[in-house]
Amino acid sequence: MPTKDDEPLDLLQGTLDLLILRTLIFGPQHGHGISLAIQQTSDAELLVEHGALYPALQRLEHRGWIAGKWGTSANNRRARFYALTPAGRKQLVRETTKWRRLARAIGRVLDTGPTEG
């Protein structure tokens, strides 16, 4: 479990979208699976609020980046599985690049101090 001053980070909306797309690159997954995957791959740094996940999925599906279909889970439960569409794949590449640039820029600003910039 995380310690007190190392609480999980809240996710900004745009970021959650990016993470969902990223998770789906390994194949179709249902909502529960996606939340677990994000939590695990981020070493429990990022906590996905389950209640926020589904509207986000809905939004992405609406934009045509993912496609949802009812299916059966590994332990034989009915669940809605989401798959990345070609448009979603492109969006993921775009968002990833953008995010990396932003992160780099912020990192530089934070690292170099006030004399520069």
Partner 1 sequence: MLRGWRSDEDFRDEIESHLALEAERLERDEGLSASAARLAARRRFGSVSRARERFFESTRWLWWEQWRQDVRYGARMLRRAPGFTLVAALTIALGVGATTAIFSVVDAALLHPLPYPDADRLVSVEDDLRSVGASRVGMSQPEWLDLERSGIFDQISPAWYDENNLTGGLEPRRVRLMSVAPNYFAVLGVAPHPGRAFEPTNRAPGFTQEAVISHGLWQREFGGRRDVLDRSIRLDTDLYRIVGVMPADFVPPGRTLEERNVDVWAATSFYGPPMLDHPPRSGRNLPGAIGRVKAGLTLAEAQQRVDALVASLTRAYPGDYPDAAGWAIRLEPLKRTVVGDARQPLILLFAAVALVLLIASVNVANLLLARATTRARELALRQALGGGRLRLVRQLITEGVLLSALGGAVAAAILVASRGPLLHLIPSSVPRLTTVGAGWRVYAFSTVVTLAIGVVFGVVAALHVEPLGLMHVLKQQGRASTASRRQARTRRALVVAQFALSVTLMVAAGLLLRSIADLVRRPLGFAPGGVVTVRTRMPYPNDVSIDLYGTPAQKERFYRELLRRLDGLPGVARAALGDSAAIPLDRPARDLMLRPVVFERQGATTPPTLVERASVTPEYFDVLGMTRLRGRLFTDFDAASAPAVAVVNEAMARKFWPGEDPIGRRVKLTRTATAWTTIVGVVGDARTASIDDPHVPQIFSSLYQLGEKHIAVLVRSDVEAETIGDGVRAQIRAVDPTLPVFGTEPLAAIVTDALGQRRFAAEMLALFAATALLLAGIGIYGVMAYAVTERTPEIGVRLVLGASGASLVDGIVRDGMRLAAAGGAAGIALSLGAGQVLARSIAAVPAHDTETLFAVPVLLFAVALVACLVPARRALRVDLLAVIRHE
Q: Which of 2, 7, 9, 54 binds partner 1 (CB under 8 A)?
A: 54
Q: Which residue in 75, 78, 63 sits closest to 21, CA to CA?
A: 63
* 52 interacts with partner 1 by CB under 8 A: yes
For residues 90, 97, 46, 1, the Cα torsion angle rounded to the nearest 10 degrees is 120
What is the spatial distance between Cα 55 and Cα 25, in angstroms, rounded to a whole number? 20
What is the spatial distance between Cα 37 and Cα 21, in angstroms, rounded to a whole number? 12
* 106 interacts with partner 1 by CB under 8 A: yes
Of the listed pieces 2-10, 24-32, 38-46, 88-96, which binds partner 1 according to CB under 8 A?
24-32
Tell me which residues touch partner 1 (CB under 8 A): 12-15, 17, 30-33, 36, 49-52, 54-55, 58-59, 61-62, 64, 73, 75, 77-80, 98, 101-102, 105-106, 109, 114, 117
